[in-house]
Chains A and B, each alone.
Chain A
Amino acid sequence: MNELNKDAIRDLLYRMADDQLILGHRNSEWTGLGPILEEDIAFSSMAQDKLGQSLALYTLLHDLGDKDPDTLAFNREEKDFKCCHLVEYPIGGYEFSLMRHFLFDSSEALRFGMLAGSSFSPLAKIARKFRGELRYHTMHADTWIRQLGGANEESRAKIQSSLEFCFPLALGIFEPSDYEKTLAEQGVFPGESELQKEWLAHIEPLLAGSGLSMPDVSSCKPSYGGRKGRHTEHLKPLLDEMTEVYKIDPSAEW
Chain B
Amino acid sequence: MVRESLSVDDVWKALEDVKDPEIPKLSLVDMGIVTSVSIGEDESVRVVITPTFAGCPALKMMADDIKDRLGKLTKGNVEVEVNYDVQWSTDMLTEKGRQMLKESHFALPGQVNGFVSAESLIKVECPFCGSRDTRLQSPFGPTQCRAIHYCDNCKQAFEQFKPV
Contact = CB atoms under 8 A, between A and B. Distances in A.
Interface in B105-125: 112, 115-116, 118, 121
Interface in A22-77: 38, 41-42, 44-46, 48-53, 55-56
B141 interface: yes
A56 B148 contact: no
A135 interface: yes
Interface in A191-239: none
B138 A133 contact: no
A150 B55 CA distance: 33
Interface in B145-164: 148, 162, 164
Q: A interface, how many residues as a size bin?
A: 20 to 34
B87 A129 contact: yes
B56 A52 contact: yes
Q: B interface, how many residues as a size bin?
A: 20 to 34
A38 B147 CA distance: 11
A132 B164 contact: yes
Nearest to B143: A45
A125 B87 contact: yes
Contact of B139 (A51, A53, A56, A140): A140
Interface of B: 51, 53-57, 84-85, 87-89, 112, 115-116, 118, 121, 137-142, 144, 148, 162, 164
Interface of A: 38, 41-42, 44-46, 48-53, 55-56, 122, 125-126, 128-130, 132-133, 135-136, 139-140
